[in-house]
Amino acid sequence: MLKIAIYGKGGIGKSTTISNMAAAMTEMGLKVMQIGCDPKADSTAALHPGVKLTTVLDLVRRKKDDFTIEDMVCPGFGGVVCVEAGGPTPGMGCAGRGIITALEKLAAKGVYDKYQPDVVIYDVLGDVVCGGFSMPMRDGYADQVFIVTSGENMAIYAAANIAMAVQNFKDRGYAQLGGIILNRRNVRHEEEKVAELCSDIQSRVIGTLSRSETVQDAEELGKTVLEAFPDSEMAAEYRTLARQVLAACGKEPAC
């Protein structure tokens, strides 16, 4: 089982990237589980349009431990197994601690054993990398960390902080930094800025995505690009990115 954590600044297009990549991996014959670790609980929304997924933390609040594995998951497009960790009640509790609780509950309930995914992808907010937000990096969770960024200054700043966290944890047997995913915003000197970031953090760009209206069109439909526009150029880019991520992890796709 390959376990990947993907981080990035809020609003950078991380969840859209992950959902499309997960859908592309299922086309390759892989069984994929996507776990949203953002308090907004919208990581997997495009994979199950029109279906509201109950978060793990909502279940814990309402039912303590009296709920089943099936209560925590939702089947998504292409067979992606969708899970949302959720967040605390607004104004109460710690979002980071909520992620810890949710991931521990998933393991305790035997979700991974039941679904036996080939690939688990954790979608993690990267504006802050402390407490529970670093949980997916820890031993027993992700094997590799990838960072989604553009050439925008705040996105690069967040990416550098995430890379620093991975570096600080390297002696504990935590996940390693697999590389950078450039989600282009077409800002000035974008590729040069991201290349400089990679040099600073001793990493590399493993894949790039174009800025495209096709992505916005699919989002308006509440779907992934692979479902809404499977023959589009952007769908092809997401398929390529999925292969690049797998290759960076040393895993060859089935076809």
Two structure tokens written together for 99: 């992620």
Torsional sign, CA 100, 88, 167, 117: positive
Q: What is the pLDDT of residue 130?
A: 61
pTM, full prediction: 0.92
Other residues' Cβ atoms within 10 Å of the Cβ of residue 188: 7
Quote the CA–CA distance of 167 and 188 in Å, as a whole number: 29
Neighbours of 26 (CB within 10 A): 21
Going through 91-192 in order, the beta strands assigned E by DSSP cover 119-125, 144-149, 176-183
Sign of CA dihedral 52, 24, 116, 112: negative
pLDDT, mean of residues 184-208: 96
Q: How large a percentage of the chain has pLDDT more than 90?
A: 69
pLDDT of res. 16: 97
- For the segment 83-130, what is each residue's pLDDT rounded down to a tens digit? 999 876 655 556 666 788 888 899 999 999 999 999 999 999 877 666
- Domains of the chain listed by start with CATH number: 2-248 (3.40.50.300)
Q: How many whole angstroms separate alpha carbon 52 and alpha carbon 60? A: 17
Q: Give residue 100's pLDDT.
A: 83
Q: Report the pLDDT value the prediction gives residue 96, as an integer from 0 to 100.
A: 67
Per-residue pLDDT, 254:
43
The span from the CA of 253 to the CA of 103, in Å, is 27
Q: Among 3, 9, 105, 223, which one carries the catalytic annotation?
A: 9
Catalytic residue among 40, 118, 217, 251: 40
Cα torsion for 104, 109, 111, 112, to the nearest 10°? Answer: 70
Q: Which of 115, 121, 58 is nearest to 88 (CA)?
A: 58
| Residue 9 falls in the annotated catalytic set | yes
SS3 assignment for 168-224: HCHHHCCCEEEEEEEECCCCCCHHHHHHHHHHHHCCCEEEEECCCHHHHHHHHCCCC
**Catalytic residue, candidates 14, 105, 193, 223:** 14
Catalytic annotation, pick one of 31, 71, 118, 127: 127
Catalytic annotation on 127?
yes
Taking 80 as the threshold, does the pLDDT of residue 22 lie above it?
yes
